[in-house]
Amino acid sequence: MEPGTIRQPGYRFTLVNIDCLRSSTHFNVVMQLDESVEELLPFLAAILPGCTYIHGTGVVNLMDDGHIVAIYPDRITMTDVVDLETATQLCRRYFDTIVQVRTNRGHIAPQYQRRLSITVLDILRHLPQTNCGRCKCPTCMAFAAGVFRRETFIGECTPLIEDTGAERFQKLIEQLRINGYAVPSP
């Protein structure tokens, strides 16, 4: 199922098969923008949690609930989308974000360089390493990868949350917060 181009005010998008996984039932989305957002990229980098951006590269990258999102001046690409409804919602959300940034850019401090300072292994090192499965993941490594991709909330690791006073817990929460991840309330 590869539907044609869907047109919306300000953009159009297409779902495309994932070339390297021909049997996949998921799609990638290519969203073409009617107006360039090149001058907005540093402002988008300032407000999008967990993104990476280096001025002059022409792309803001981020993970959004398991989707790899790349924002270019003329288009946005999103990976691993399950259906047309999800694609429509993601495209609308990113277009609304662009409109919001365009409207409010005078109140946003642009970020000309932004990089994540946390990796899957950094997250794993702070976990209890018990592979207990209470988080519904088979291993702590799988859980760490889910947290990194923003598919899983760090608060789902019960042993870690039960040990909130531990230095490793506090360090991990601070690293996640700095990198724009949702973290448990103190």
pLDDT, tens only, 39-88 = 999 999 999 988 899 999 999 999 888 899 999 999 999 998 999 999 99
The whole-number pLDDT of residue 22 equals 63
Long-range contacts of 174-179 (CB under 8 A, 24+ apart): 175/117, 175/118, 175/122, 175/126, 176/118, 176/123, 176/147, 178/117, 178/118, 179/49, 179/50, 179/116, 179/117, 179/118
**Residue 71 backbone phi and psi in degrees, to 5:** -105, 115
Average pLDDT, the chain: 89
Instruction: Determine the pLDDT at residue 184.
Output: 84
CA distance 95 to 11: 8
Residue 23: pLDDT band by 50, 70, 90 thresholds?
low
Going along the chain from its start, the domains and CATH numbers come out as 6-114 (no CATH), 120-178 (1.10.15.40)
Better-predicted residue by pLDDT, 91 or 178: 91
Q: For 94-116, how does the pLDDT look when each residue is reduced to its tens digit (9 = 90+)?
A: 999 999 999 999 999 999 998 77
Percent over 90 (pLDDT), the chain: 58
- Residue range 126-154, pLDDT digits in tens: 898 899 999 999 999 999 999 998 889 99
Helix, strand, coil abundance in the chain, percent, nearest 5 = 40, 20, 40
Return d(Cα 157, Cα 126) in angstroms, integer: 11
pLDDT band at 10 (very low <50, low <70, confident <90, very high): very high
Q: Is the pLDDT reported for residue 1 higher than 60?
A: no
